[in-house]
Structure formats: C-alpha cells, structure tokens
Amino acid sequence: MIGRMKIRLACIILFAMVVSRLSAQEMGRDTITGKVHQIEKVTVTARRIPNKVTSAVPIQTLSQQDISQLGIQNMADAVRRFAGANVKDYGGIGGLKTVSIRNMGAAHTAVSYDGVAVSNCQAGQIDIGRFSLDNVSMLSLAIGQSENMLQSARLYASAGVLSIETEKPHFEDGRNAQFQARIRGGSFGYASPSFRWWQKLSSRTRFAVDANYMRADGNYPFTLVNGKYVTEEKRNNSDIYSWQGEATLYHTFKEGGDLDVKGYYFYSRRGLPGAVTLYNPLSDETLWDENTFVQARYKKNFSTQWSLQAQAKYTHGWNRYKDEGKEYTNGYYQEHHRQDEYYMSATVLYRPMSALTLSLAQDGVMNKLRNSLPECPFPTRYTSISALNARYKQGWITAAASLVHTATSEHVEQGTAPDNFSRLAPSLSISLQPWQEELLFLRLMYKSTFRLPTFNDLYYYRMGNRNLRPEKANEYNVGITWSKSGLLFLDYLSLTLDGYYNDVTDKIVAFPTTYAWKMANYGNVHAAGVDATLATAISLTKGIKLSLSGGYTWQKAIDLTDPEAKNYKDQLPYTPLHSGNASAVLEMSWLNVGYSVVGVGKRYYLSQNIPENEIDGYMEHTMTLSREFVLGKCRLSVQAEMVNVTDEQYDVIKYYPMPGRSWRLTGTFKF
C-alpha cells in the first residue's frame, strides 16, 4: 500500500511540474512579434454523426448528444445499441459488464481510451462498467479495425475496437476557465455527484479535471418463478460505491505536434449478489477494485508525407475478493491480486504518393502478476507486437492490408514457464464505389486474429494449464452501405447491411476433468450473421426535428467441436438468434424527447438447446425528457429518465435478474 501511495504521489508531482513548466514557458516568452500564434480552436456541434458508410469495415458511433438524449445510463447500455455487439451484464449497477464482438469472446475485443489501449493481463477482458459516460464525447465500435493508420499495433492485432474518446476543453466568450457541476439521483439509492474543471494555461496549453462519486444500495425487487409458485423477492448484497477521477494536460508545441498526458484513478467496493438460487437469496461476497494508469500520447505531422504517433503508459491494477461463510476455517475466504503493465508504442506514417499510405507500428509490453493464491508462479510476460500497414485509394476503389507479428517471452519465479510464442496474422479490406455521384459502397474484409492465454488461463490455482495454445479466429465480412442527403422529406438517410462469418478454433474453455475443472483448448465455433443499421432525420417544422436510428442482428453461432456430443451444431450459450434496437429523438426549442427500445430474443444458458435451458427474450423501453436553460453566461440542463418503462422482468445472465422499472433525474450546471 505504501509503495502504491509513493508511485501515485510521484506521478502527481511530476504532472504538476510539467504543467508549471509549460505554463511558465508560454507566459514568460510569448510575444506578439517574431512568432506564429495558434488561433483558438472552434468547436462545432452536430445533431448526429451517422454510421460511416465510406469505411471498408463496419464502424458505428454514438455522440455525446445521442447518449444524453436517449437517456443511456452507463457504458454497457450504450454498447448494447451497436449491431453485432454482445454485452454480458451480471445485473445491477455494480455488476460486471463485458463486450464481445460477434460472439468471438471479450478477450478478442480491444478497448481504447483516448487512443491508448486498455488492458487486463490477468483476466483478458475489460469491465466497461468502470468507465463513466459523463465526459465521453464520442463512442465508436469498429469491427475489424478502424481507419486510423496511426493507431498502435495492439489495436491492429484485435478483432475489433471499442473506442472511448473524452471531451477536450473548449472555451466560450473569451473565458480562460470553465466549470461544470452535475448531480444525479434515482431508484435503488442511486446518487452520483460529479465535477469538471477546464483551465486554459496559455494559448497552447489546456488542462482538464473530471471527478465523480457514485453510490447505490442496488437492492431492487424482482419476481422469482418456481414452477407454479411466484414470489416477490429483493436482490441482496448489491450495494456499491466508487470514486473515479482523471486529469489531462493538452499541449500544442509552437513547432507543431500535440501532447496529451492523462492520469486516471478508479476505486470501488461492491457487493456481489451472486446467482439467485431457490430459498437462498443471501450472498456474502465482496469485491474491492483499484485501477490507476498514467498515459502520454504525442502526435506530429512533420510534412504532408510523414507523421508520427508515440505512446507510453503505466497501469496498476489491484483487487481483493472476500467471501464469508461457516464453510471456511476462519469464517471467511479472501484473495488478493495485483497486476502491473509497462507499455510503449510508436507508429510512423508515410505517404509516398497521394493514392498510397504506409504505416509501421511497434509496441512493447511488460506484464507482471502477483497474488495470494497457493503456488503462484509470479509470472512476467514480455510481448512485442509489430504491424505493417498499407492503404491505397484511387477513384472508386479503396484497399487496405496489414500484417501483424506477435512474439512473447514468458518467465516465472517458480515452476515451468510456458513456451514462447510467435505468429503472423494478415488482414485485407476493400471498399468499392461503383458510381462517383452516389454514396453507395460495397465492402469486403478478411482478418486473422488470435488471443493469447491470460494469466488466469495459465496459472490460476488448480485450474490453470501452462500448455495452452492461443485461441485463433478468422473474420469474413461482406457489406453494402448507402447514404443520401435531401431525399424527399428526409434530411438524410443512411443504411448499412453486412453479412459475416467467423471461425474460431482452439477455443480456451474450462473443461471438467476427473477431480477438478481445468482450462483447455477445446472448441471449434462457427458464427454466421447479418448486421443492419439505419439512421435518418426529418425536419417536421421550423425548430422541430425528428431523428430516427436502429440496428438489427441475426446471428447463428454453433458448436462444431464434437460430432458425437448432444450439443453438436447447437446455438452457443447466451447467443440470441435475433437482437436489435430502435430510437427516436424529437428536438424542440422548449423540450427534447427521447425514446428507445432494446430487444433480445430467446437464448440458452447451457450448451444443449432444450426447453429446460431456455431464457426468455425481452424488450427494454427507455424514455427521457430534457431541457436546457440559459442563465446569462451560465447554462442549466435538466433531464428526467424512465428506464424499463414496462417493468419487464428479465435476465441477461441466467439467475442474475435485472432491475425492473427505475427512474433517474439529472441536473447539470455549466459556468
């Protein structure tokens, strides 16, 4: 604990010295003559950014305005609105929330925060519930890879990327500082105050601080069905409180180039309500989480031909698990886990001609794990990821290709280390525009990816298997996109339709053995599906506009591991055949009204597709009302939300009931 305090204190002192130094340089040396001065940036806000129809891979976006007007409560609710995204939610405000693209598994999906990858070498999946939506300016999901050729090699190596971009400071009316105070309150004891401070330190340097606190009882009522008996129960041990804060420095150098330095801290204590079992609603499990990172990103265009991006990041993760019960010798059982990552990345972009762009990305990673479990080998993993990329765009064709090489070196303090690993993974995408006057595009994509066994897969007490092979996947996509402005009475209309096929081999699963469960490469999964999206807007009268959007996914994901097994060619657990969402936002000068619905078809929670294993489908409706008041140079926004309007009882994960009807009020004061 003392060591972590020293690290955080050193980071804060270093961060303050950088701010002070940059501010002093600008204030002491800035003159009117003999220099080139940067004009203050102007921020333009739009009503909605439609899904990108020109991209060679499926990319979907949600803007800050979309998130607010639709009454989206957390990151998981936002991601559920992307076609092809599978979100696992273990219930309640504090429940674990992970995202998987097209049923490939959460470990195949990368998450980036302001352009830098987020990692978890212990479990391999990111709990997106720990990220706040308060300061998010844009949320996007790219299946395959995004069009940014300056991205890191780690993002190139993933099957898809969920990108979270935070809002950068922008100032109005000649101000040098801007503040925002927000308070939220709602059902189940939910309360969350937050604060933002933006400061202009000089013409080239800005500073942003965001902090929020959240607490909730989380003990919501639900209906328990046991055959013909129906009882009203209450969720227990669902309380949570958390702190989150981040500080970011933005600096533009006079000779060109942008530097962003961010410090982030998250801490939570949450009760784990566990699965609802008949006649035993109690749970005594508690989880403490702490996550800290400091990251820096530098970007510069040296000329029209050469560009550079460099990143560095240190991540510290700590968690403690405790379960109380008479079955334990001391009345309780607990585990402590600590993981640390040191990460560096550099990407160089070169444009030898107007039609051709090349880039080379190189990442270096060192991961360490320490825990209190018996026989912990205290592993250290060194990883090198290289990505060579090319894009050609000429007239009606755009083609992009990449070749990613990954090499690892594993070391342990006790026992035998797994074999080192090396592999090449190619990808190719093509976009065709048959008619230059029409925004109609045909797109094709192939991508080979894999995911390394996590530290838990390899070393977890009694379950770990140090002989695991990486889990391999091949993605295929073919699609058509179309967009048109000023079509009849519509402001615009945007449509996308994609068919896909995924092949996953050497799937890493927990497999039963004679005495205990053990991780093994056991599984061959084929997934085929269709994703469709629509976005449009209508100007009804002067000052009244209606925006409509929606997405639909049909997916057939089957297990082809063992032809003799009873579940051969059955749909995978928790994979609905049909899912989708729709939303409408009515914008008026005196009030904004939003309505959205998310629907998921029936699923199976075990491998066999039999009625006993079936989970009913559900539709969750959300309604929101909002209005902004201008008070001189200040602004006050008020918003009311009703979630699950129909009070539908449903589970995302079997035996983890989700909340019924709930409400939330939000007040935001900007000054």
Taking only the tens place, the pLDDT of each residue in 527-579 is 999 999 999 999 998 889 999 999 999 999 998 888 988 889 999 888 899 99
Residues near 390 by Cβ (< 8 Å), separated by ≥ 6? 356, 357, 358, 359, 400, 401, 402
CA 369 to CA 628: how far, in whole Å? 48
Strands (E), 395-435: 397-411, 421-432
- How is residue 9 written in tokens? 């204190």
CA 47 to CA 38: how far, in whole Å? 28
CA 526 to CA 86: how far, in whole Å? 16
CA 290 to CA 318: how far, in whole Å? 5
Q: How confident is the model at residue 231 (pLDDT cuts 50, 70, 90)?
A: confident
Residue type, 470: P
Q: CA torsion angle for 44, 45, 46, 50 (degrees, to 10)?
A: 90
Helix H or strand E segment including 24: helix 2-29
> In angstroms, how far is the first alpha carbon of the chain from the final one?
38
CA 143 to CA 79: how far, in whole Å? 13
Taking only the tens place, the pLDDT of each residue in 181-192 is 999 999 999 999
CB atoms under 10 Å from CB of 633, counted, come to 10
Interval 30-54 mean pLDDT: 48
Tokens 């990692």 correspond to 119
Q: Higher model confidence: residue 418 or residue 92? A: 418
Taking only the tens place, the pLDDT of each residue in 481-540 is 999 988 888 999 999 999 999 999 998 887 676 566 788 888 888 999 999 999 999 999
CA 583 to CA 71: how far, in whole Å? 11
Phi, psi angles (nearest 5°) of residue 29: -115, -5
Strands 136-143 and 160-166: antiparallel
Q: For residue 43, what pLDDT is reported?
A: 44
Taking only the tens place, the pLDDT of each residue in 419-436 is 999 999 999 999 999 998
- How is residue 61 written in tokens? 């976006």
Nearest residue to 142 via CA among 531, 482, 555, 536: 531
CA 454 to CA 516: how far, in whole Å? 19
Q: For residue 35, what pLDDT is reported?
A: 43
CA 204 to CA 40: how far, in whole Å? 9
CA 583 to CA 548: how far, in whole Å? 6
pLDDT surpassing 60 at residue 29? no
Q: For residue 279, what pLDDT is reported?
A: 61
Nearest residue to 379 via CA among 336, 338, 438: 338
Bridge partners (DSSP) of residue 598 are: 581, 620
SS3 468: coil
Q: pTM of the entire structure?
A: 0.86
Q: Which domains does the chain have, with CATH numbers?
A: 47-452+471-505+523-670 (2.40.170.20)
CA 316 to CA 297: how far, in whole Å? 18
Q: For residue 412, what pLDDT is reported?
A: 93
Q: How confident is the model at residue 1 (pLDDT cuts 50, 70, 90)?
A: very low
Q: For residue 514, what pLDDT is reported?
A: 59
Specify burial of residue 328 (Cβ count, 10 A radius: 0-12, 13-18, 19+): exposed
CA distances from 650 to 179, 223, 361, 621, 646 (A): 40, 9, 45, 13, 12
CA 81 to CA 61: how far, in whole Å? 10
Q: For residue 368, what pLDDT is reported?
A: 95
Residue type, 671: F
- How is residue 278 written in tokens? 């008949």
Cβ-contact 336, 27 below 8 angstroms: no
Specify burial of residue 360 (Cβ count, 10 A radius: 0-12, 13-18, 19+): middle
The per-residue b/e assignment along 348-357, b for 16 or more CB within 10 angstroms, e otherwise, is: bbebeeeeeb
Span of 88-97, 124-133, 592-601 with lowest mean pLDDT: 88-97
pLDDT surpassing 50 at residue 42? no
Span of 110-124, 253-267, 325-339, 502-516 with lowest mean pLDDT: 502-516
What is the average pLDDT score of the chain? Answer: 87
CA 238 to CA 240: how far, in whole Å? 7
